[in-house]
A and B are shown apart, each in its own frame.
Chain A
């Protein structure tokens, strides 16, 4: 961990610089407790977003006056020209002549600043008409109230970027208690594609969090859903940084290193053996773990599948019945058959015997079975069949599942769940299960870490402002509203904030903007920003962000370095994904991965003429058991029927509240 510059002994303040401006107030433009105006020389380093310090002249009795910090929100230039017509008259209507005039008119640079902080804070009074200075490092810390969490016995400061203005550069920190709970939590970042550097900013911030998460707050991990191509596939690989990036890292006290511990999870492709990710280069694919769920895992979150099409309570009841009474149990179907349902195939057999039984009994036997209507049962069967075909590589019929290490999460580890190529239904299922598991485990305090940042890119897809109330949306809303008490923190990114559910973005304590789209800025959500700030946002250079944070009275512009990890785009160039392997090669490769002594040809001989399902099942079992002799184990599994996994107690998922506009 890197030492943050000690705020208790800041670098000696530079010799008192001359003022760069003066507060002016007129009846038309008075100074108020929240806003003031000042003028500067025409040539000045001041610009929109600059932080300034106003000093009230002392009262001459040795007492110093008020000090006010402000951030520049608007600028005006004008000359003493009474009306534009006079300029025309003076130039006799010829613009070329206007440039020749012997004297340049008096002009003014007048700035509007919003108050960040006044010291003393009480009594709150209009800004004094004093001298204006550019802010120093120490001033920036004061202005943003960072002194409250930068020092003290248990500092909670997390570097977020560098405030830069007119040659001055000061690190800006956010407060971990307000970024990651419990006081406030969540971060939302928006801005146009490519220029806003949303994904990059989150990557940088995560590494800053990992390096600066205060020890007294315990352990922290991140779960990142990779939803776009190779975006998050190379977080453990170093990226290219230039000197300026390295300087910024140094100034922020963050080590420019990729993440030390990253675990990748990706479902299989439909063949059940090739991983559905772009991290398939032979050098890297070894540490991608398959994400494979069976009937049990799916059934726990079947609500996800149902809500989409608004299936009624009857279907819920039937699903509960299946989960509680049927799966993993000896079950008598009432028509003389006894079932032990472990896989989708088993379930399908049960359905068939029920429907057959009902049909035989038909003509008088009625159209319901154990109070469940046949139509409800058909619906549920269709949904489940649907998920198992649409998400073949995620949902398996062939043996044990493989999931994130629930209960064994480790400190400062990133868990990347690659769902970039998964069917939307499957993505929803993954979100729902992963996030619900995190929520439950954090609630029970047995996840392995005390806080988890969940990064969801393209948040507008999962929590859209309009559209139906999906399970995933309700879940994201639930985290937004209650996650901070649990240490479950949502970092969401999207191009257009206005397209994300109001309460999901509204609950984000920290809000970050990159380069913004002008049409988006014209929507009502941005009315509080001055026109000048909007222009700045619409033209923000790459690597610069505007940050809102509970401690900052006004949004602040900061610059951050490129993330020290390999960009997705560069990653796939340096580590080109391998083409899908033929079935037997893929199986061989996986066994070799488990046991270096395994020879691919041996594997191919063993699996020749065997059914693919059986091979997959044996492979999954071998993977889960991690036996000393992988090939022997595999052969043995292939020989006989794989025993069903022991029945796990059904984990209850606390019900989610319906989406409403009430915050609680």
Chain B
């Protein structure tokens, strides 16, 4: 095992120009607005259900899975960036004592670059440094800005793979009364999307499943309500899944997406029966509020907690400093 970061020195010693740059978070965001479409499975049209009468599901224990990614350009070979990336994922379990404890975690340290674009010495040094090297596609290599956007995709891929592996492994150990709540979609994983007690909680709404009146119904959902369950149209590698929206806080006075979550659970009749209890449960998770995170209106506290845990353990040199440190201007 390499000491994290030590490969950077080897690469710099081999002639890479040292760099220190953390690209802006907005760079090359993955979720592009797209229309996917869906089929309501609870009634013929997308419905709206109040949760006031629903009895919230109260699992004996819940495991929360989330991950983080951090990366930094540590050098350049010519104009090809060499990036050091750290991804980590953890599962924290909440038992009857209502406190979260870590039950599983995994980290990955990778270098991301385009090997064939590096000077030979630098390439050799990197390949011999004992770090896993990922490459972004050749066609993105010419322009540093596009290269970085491509790197970002690789970093995210690394993180989601880590999360998926951790979650799948944990499912096998999940006790009978226990649920696994995942930050994000379930449908990336066959095991997750088929499990009776796995729940995906999605807070970004880049993808749209409805149009017209149905879309309006979904996006103007009142506080304490859920939509009917629907089945998103299959796309790419995504598995068959059931999904529904729930509103955690009144959106009026804020924004359409304020307090709006989309839930994912296995495509199974049981899910329809559980849709209200699950939605009521998740709505109850809005307290304690996950401040100071800016997304607190839809970030569940336990997920926030997993993230805090992972950030506290991340390598110090990759965590962006709260205040700016000169020089650092490229973006």
Residues in chain A within 8 A of chain B (CB atoms): 80-83, 86-87, 89-91, 97-98, 100-106
Contact = CB atoms under 8 A, between A and B. Distances in A.
Interface string B15-29: 000000000000000
Contacts of B287: 90-91, 97-98, 101
B42 interface: no
Contacts of B292: 82
B288 A105 contact: yes
A105 B288 CA distance: 7
A103 B286 CA distance: 10
B298 interface: no
A97 B284 CA distance: 10
Given A80-B308, A90-B286, A105 B301 contact: yes
Q: Which of B99, B100, B289 has the most CB of A within 10 A?
A: B289
Nearest to B249: A89
A101 B291 contact: no
B285 A103 contact: yes
Interface in B82-111: 94, 97-100
Given A83-B291, A103-B288, A104-B99, 8 more contacts: A81-B291, A86-B288, A89-B289, A90-B288, A90-B289, A101-B284, A101-B287, A106-B100
B157 to A, nearest CB: 30
B100 A103 contact: yes
B305 A103 contact: yes
Nearest first, the 3 A-B pairs at minimum CB distance are A90-B287, A101-B287, A90-B289
A478 B301 CA distance: 68
B302 interface: yes
A104 B289 contact: no
B307 to A, nearest CB: 12
* Majority secondary structure of chain B interface residues (helix, strand, loop or mixed): loop
Interface in B270-295: 284-289, 291-292
Contacts of A103: 94, 98-100, 285, 288, 301-302, 305
Nearest to B99: A104
Contacts of A91: 287
Nearest to B285: A102
- Per DSSP, chain A at the interface is loop
Contact of B289 (A86, A100, A106): A86
A97 B287 CA distance: 9
Interface residues of B, number: 17
A97 B283 CA distance: 13
A439 B288 CA distance: 71
Contacts of A81: 288, 291
Nearest to A92: B287
Q: Give the interface centre of A86, A100, A102 by most chain B CB atoms within 10 Å.
A: A102
Residue of B94, B285, B288, B308 with highest tally of chain A CB at under 10 A:
B288
Contacts of A82: 291-292
A41 to B, nearest CB: 11
A102 B289 contact: no
B98 A106 contact: no
A240 B302 CA distance: 57
24 contacts: A80-B308, A81-B291, A82-B291, A82-B292, A86-B288, A86-B291, A87-B288, A89-B289, A90-B286, A90-B287, A90-B289, A97-B287, A98-B287, A100-B284, A101-B287, A101-B288, A102-B94, A103-B285, A103-B301, A103-B305, A104-B97, A104-B98, A105-B301, A106-B308
Interface centre among A83, A86, A91, A98 (most CB of B within 10 A): A86
A420 B285 CA distance: 70
A106 B305 contact: yes
B291 A102 contact: no
A570 to B, nearest CB: 49
A92 B94 CA distance: 23
Contacts of B100: 103, 106
A100 B97 CA distance: 12
Nearest to B302: A103
Contacts of B98: 102-104
Nearest to B292: A82
A97 B285 CA distance: 12
Contacts of A98: 287
Interface in B109-147: none
A81 B293 CA distance: 11
Contacts of A105: 288, 301
A24 to B, nearest CB: 12
Contacts of A80: 308
Nearest to A97: B287
Nearest to A85: B291
Contacts of B285: 102-103
A413 B308 CA distance: 68
B180 to A, nearest CB: 15
Nearest to B100: A103
Nearest to B309: A106
A80 B301 CA distance: 11
B294 to A, nearest CB: 12
**Residue of A80, A83, A87 with most partner-chain B CB within 10 A:** A80
Contacts of B97: 104
A81 to B, nearest CB: 7
Nearest to A98: B287
A87 B290 CA distance: 10
Contacts of A101: 284, 287-288
Contacts of B286: 90
A91 B287 CA distance: 7
B284 A102 contact: yes
Nearest to A100: B284
Nearest to A107: B99
Contacts of B94: 102-103
A639 to B, nearest CB: 94
A89 B259 CA distance: 13
A91 B97 CA distance: 19
A87 B291 CA distance: 10
A21 B301 CA distance: 26
Contacts of A86: 288-289, 291
Interface string B240-251: 000000000000
Contacts of A100: 284
A82 to B, nearest CB: 4
A101 B99 CA distance: 11
A294 B330 CA distance: 101
A261 B285 CA distance: 74
A43 to B, nearest CB: 11
Contacts of B301: 103, 105
Contacts of B289: 86, 89-90
A508 to B, nearest CB: 49
Task: Name the residue in B100, B292, B301, B302 with the highest tally of chain A Cβ atoms < 10 Å from its Cβ.
Answer: B301
A523 to B, nearest CB: 42
Contacts of B99: 103-104
A340 B258 CA distance: 111
A495 B321 CA distance: 55
A532 to B, nearest CB: 26
A102 B60 CA distance: 11
A102 B284 CA distance: 7
A102 B305 CA distance: 13
Nearest to B305: A106
A503 B289 CA distance: 57
A101 B289 CA distance: 10
A104 B302 CA distance: 9
Nearest to A90: B287
A90 B288 CA distance: 5
B159 to A, nearest CB: 23
B273 to A, nearest CB: 22
Contacts of A102: 94, 98, 284-285
